[in-house]
Amino acid sequence: MRRLGPRMLLERLHRANRLLRTHSADESVGRSPSAAASSPSSTQGKLILTNERNARFVDNDLWNSVGGELLEAHETNYEEHSETDSNNDPIDDSYDLILELYSTGRTSIVTLHPPASDIWKLWRVYLDNVNPLSKLVHRPVTEKLIQRACEDVRSIDRASEALLFAMYFTAVGSLSPDECQNLLSDSKSVLQKRYRYACRGALARAKFLRTSDLRVLTAFVIYLLSARTNIDGRTLWSLTGVASRIAQGLGLHRDGVSLGLPVFETEMRRRLWWQILWLEFRSAEKTGSTQLGEFYHFETKPPRNVDDIDIWPGQTEEELEEVMSRRGEDRATEMINVALRCENGNFWKERMTKGSTPAPGLNYAPNAPQEDPRHNDDLIDELENRVQDRFVRYCDPSVPQELLAMIHIRGAAAYMRLMAHHPKQWKGHTPIPEEQRRRLWGWAVKIIDLDLLLCTTPSLQRFAWHSNEYIQWQALVYLLEELRKHPTRDDAAEAWDKVDSIFEHHAMFIDVKIPLHTAVCTLALRAWLAREQALQERDPQSALQVPPRILRIRQQREESGNPNLGGWAPSQSVPAQPSQQPPWDFHSGPLGQSFSESMADARANEYLAANADPLQAVHDHATSNGAGLDSEMDWGMWDYLINDYENTDMTEFLSTDI
Q: Which residues contact 4 (CB under 8 A, 6 or more apart)?
A: 12, 72, 73, 76
pTM strictly above 0.85 = no
Rounded mean pLDDT, 292-300: 70
Distance in angstroms (rounded) separating the CA atoms of residues 192 and 209: 23
**Mean per-residue pLDDT of the chain:** 76
Q: Confidence class of residue 42 from pLDDT cuts 50, 70 and 90?
A: very low
The neighbour count for residue 510, using CB atoms within 10 Å, is: 18
Ranges of each domain in the chain: 6-84, 471-658
Q: Which residues pair with 58 in a beta bridge?
A: 46
Confidence at residue 580, expressed as pLDDT on a 0 to 100 scale: 32
Confidence at residue 6, expressed as pLDDT on a 0 to 100 scale: 54
Angle between helices 336-353 and 373-390 (to 10 degrees): 140
> 521-564 pLDDT, tens per residue?
999 999 999 999 999 999 888 888 999 999 999 998 888 776 55
Q: Confidence class of residue 357 from pLDDT cuts 50, 70 and 90?
A: low
Size of the chain in residues: 658
Lowest average pLDDT, out of 7-21, 136-150, 342-356, 435-449, goes to: 7-21
CA end-to-end distance (rounded Å), the chain: 41
Rounded mean pLDDT, 287-309: 78
In this predicted structure, the answer to whether residue 565 has a pLDDT above a threshold of 50 is no
Sign (positive or negative) of CA dihedral 186, 187, 188, 191? negative
> 170-216 pLDDT, tens per residue?
999 999 999 999 999 999 999 999 999 999 999 999 999 999 999 99
Distance in angstroms (rounded) separating the CA atoms of residues 118 and 648: 34
> 118-166 pLDDT, tens per residue?
999 999 999 999 999 999 999 999 999 999 999 999 999 999 999 999 9
- Cα angle value 286/298/225 (rounded, 5°): 40
> 54-73 pLDDT, tens per residue?
665 555 544 444 445 544 54
Assess contact for 440 and 422: CB atoms under 8 A. Answer: yes
In this predicted structure, the answer to whether residue 415 has a pLDDT above a threshold of 50 is yes
Q: Pick 266 or 514 by higher pLDDT.
A: 266
Confidence at residue 376, expressed as pLDDT on a 0 to 100 scale: 83
Rounded mean pLDDT, 222-237: 86
- Cα angle value 220/224/229 (rounded, 5°): 165
Distance in angstroms (rounded) separating the CA atoms of residues 411 and 472: 10
Q: Pick 632 or 305 by higher pLDDT.
A: 305
Confidence at residue 615, expressed as pLDDT on a 0 to 100 scale: 35
For 280, counting Cβ atoms within 10 Å of its Cβ (0-12 exposed, 13-18 middle, 19+ buried), the class is buried
Q: Pick 332 or 25 by higher pLDDT.
A: 332
Confidence at residue 297, expressed as pLDDT on a 0 to 100 scale: 74
Q: Which residues pair with 47 in a beta bridge?
A: 57
Q: Confidence class of residue 53 from pLDDT cuts 50, 70 and 90?
A: low
| Runs of H (alpha helix) within 152-262 | 158-173, 177-184, 188-205, 214-227, 233-249
Distance in angstroms (rounded) separating the CA atoms of residues 586 and 16: 52
Distance in angstroms (rounded) separating the CA atoms of residues 270 and 606: 40
Rounded mean pLDDT, 592-607: 32
Q: Confidence class of residue 231 from pLDDT cuts 50, 70 and 90?
A: confident
Distance in angstroms (rounded) separating the CA atoms of residues 188 and 199: 16
Confidence at residue 184, expressed as pLDDT on a 0 to 100 scale: 97
Confidence at residue 167, expressed as pLDDT on a 0 to 100 scale: 99
Q: Pick 629 or 12 by higher pLDDT.
A: 12
Confidence at residue 540, expressed as pLDDT on a 0 to 100 scale: 86
Extended beta strands in 214-367, E state: none
Distance in angstroms (rounded) separating the CA atoms of residues 190 and 230: 15
Confidence at residue 385, expressed as pLDDT on a 0 to 100 scale: 93
DSSP label at residue 293? G
Q: Confidence class of residue 601 from pLDDT cuts 50, 70 and 90?
A: very low
Nearest to 79 by CA among 255, 211, 190: 211
> 499-529 pLDDT, tens per residue?
999 999 988 878 877 777 888 899 999 999 9
Q: Pick 222 or 630 by higher pLDDT.
A: 222
In this predicted structure, the answer to whether residue 584 has a pLDDT above a threshold of 50 is no
Assess contact for 584 and 658: CB atoms under 8 A. Answer: yes
